[in-house]
Amino acid sequence: MRAAIAGASGYAGGELLRLLLGHPELEIGALTAASSAGGLLGARQPHLPQLAHRAIEETSADTLAGHDVVFLALPHGHSAAVAAQLGEETIVVDCGADHRLADPAAWQEFYGGEHAGTWPYGLPELPGQRDVLSKATRIAVPGCYPTSVLLALFPAFAAGLAEPDVVVVAASGTSGAGKSLKPNLLGSEVMGSVSAYSAGGVHRHTPEMEQGLTAVAGAPVRVSFTPTLAPMSRGILATCTAPAAPGVTKESLRSAYEAAFKGEPFVRLLPEGVWPATSMTYGANTAALQVALDERAGRVIAVIAIDNLTKGTAGGAIQSVNLALGLPEELGLPLTGVAP
């Protein structure tokens, strides 16, 4: 089966290609982008020597046609027009935000412009989602922060162990912002410093987190989210807390998380007392998770680490595509991190 990558010169595109090079069933087809079209991939993704000679083409329905899978790793707002020209026989995977939100009003508030519609949400670990993805021909890849927060908190809400008033503070590596030049991402601004941004309920991933947790809880969940930028290229460490429901004990909380992730190939509840670090998941399609009950404050504390480009984007996308193609879910996806 052949897979095309639109946005092949970007960070998400590069990570898709790195993983697809090790995928036994998916062959790499067309590579497309915008300003780098006409050049060679070797100039934009020099860490992928096997593909250095491959040409980058313009992103168009013509160049993307005739593939079994098309990954769209394009800036927000560019996926819908391309996807509309691809038939239902092609599995189309949107790594951007265009098809994640179900509520057009939330789209309008946080992104602006016309809502493109809603596609099946590519987080297989959520209750019932594997069934949905196994029949999907369109897949919306979650945002990297929502991937971390939903994995960290859905077991508590599914088991009725947390109240719907969530606070999240998460640190991300700079690759989360994409390759294009941004003043706050200049080396001199980022090196040796951790900084907060988009605080105060304005980050566009907030409604996506609320949407996912509300669906699991069966009642509205509010999220107060503060992202921070850390001086590292990859990784997210999210600290997620919510008031504990009456009667919750350390044992009931741990059991709920053990049950939720039993048999999960990629999400690992760490041994008690071991806390997640981004280095545990570097380059791997994994999430490393720990949960605790803060009895003094009466709060559930879930801390999670993922690699924003792997489980947070490209690895998560391929995991969902494996399900949609009827392949083993783990195929071609790395479990091992790089340490130290």
Q: Which residues are catalytic?
A: 144
Two tokens at 63?
């160049």
Rounded CA gap, 142 and 121, in Å? 7
Positions in 263-292 near ligand NDP (CB under 6 A): none
| 77 lines the binding site for ligand NDP (CB under 6 A) | no
For ligand X2W, give the closer residue by CB, 102 or 331.
102
Comparing CB distances to ligand X2W, the nearer of 52 and 102 is: 102
Q: Which is nearer to ligand NDP, 28 or 95 (CB)?
A: 95
Binding partner of 227, given ligand NDP, ligand X2W, none, CB within 5-8 angstroms per partner class: ligand X2W
Which of these segments, 68-76, 122-130, 243-251, 285-293, binds ligand NDP (CB under 6 A)?
Answer: 68-76
Q: For ligand X2W, which is the closer residue by CB, 29 or 173?
A: 173
With CB under 5 to 8 Å by kind, the binding choice for 222 among ligand X2W, ligand NDP, none is none
Q: Is 224 in the site for ligand NDP (CB under 6 A)?
A: no
Residue whose CB is less far from ligand X2W, 157 or 225: 225
Contacts with ligand X2W by CB under 6 A lie at 96-97, 143-144, 172, 176-177, 227, 229
146 preceded by a cis bond (ω within 30 of 0)? no
180 near ligand NDP, judged by CB under 6 A:
yes
Structure tokens at 131: 């069934």
Instruction: For residue 133, give the amino acid letter.
Output: L
The reply to whether 35 sits near ligand NDP by the rule CB under 6 A is: yes
Query: 309: which DSSP letter?
Result: T
Q: How far is the CB of 143 from ligand NDP (least distance, A)?
A: 6
Query: From CA 300, how far away is CA 114, in angstroms rounded?
Result: 37
Q: Is 45 in the site for ligand NDP (CB under 6 A)?
A: no
Among 86, 144, 153, 269, binds ligand NDP (CB under 6 A): 144
- C-alpha 59/C-alpha 328 separation (Å) is 30
Instruction: Decide if residue 36 touches ligand NDP (CB under 6 A).
Output: yes
Shortest distance (Å) from residue 6 CB to ligand NDP: 6
Q: Minimal CB distance to ligand NDP: which residue?
A: 10
179 binding ligand NDP? (CB under 6 A)? yes
Sheet holding 57-58, edge to edge: 57-58, 27-33, 2-6, 69-72, 91-94, 138-140
Q: Pull the structure tokens for residue 101.
A: 């939100």
Closest distance to ligand NDP from the beta carbon of 83 (Å): 13
222: which residues sit within 8 A by CB, 6+ positions away?
A: 164, 165, 166, 210
Separation of alpha carbons 125 and 301, rounded Å: 20
Residue 212 lies near ligand NDP (rule: CB under 6 A):
no
Helix (H) or strand (E) holding 209: helix 206-217
Kindly give, in sequence order, each residue whose CB lies less than 8 Å from that of residue 329, ignoring residues fewer than 6 positions away.
124, 130, 265, 319, 322, 323
β-pairing, 2-6 with 69-72?
Answer: parallel
Cβ(145)–Cβ(227) under 8 Å? yes
Residue 280 to residue 34: CA distance in whole angstroms: 34
Give the pair of three-digit tokens for residue 20. Answer: 């697809």
309: contact with ligand NDP by CB under 6 A: yes
Considering the complex, what minimum distance in angstroms separates the CB of residue 166 from ligand NDP? 21
Residues lying near ligand NDP in the complex (CB under 6 A) are found at 7-13, 33-36, 59, 73-76, 78, 95-97, 143-144, 175-176, 178-180, 308-309, 312-313
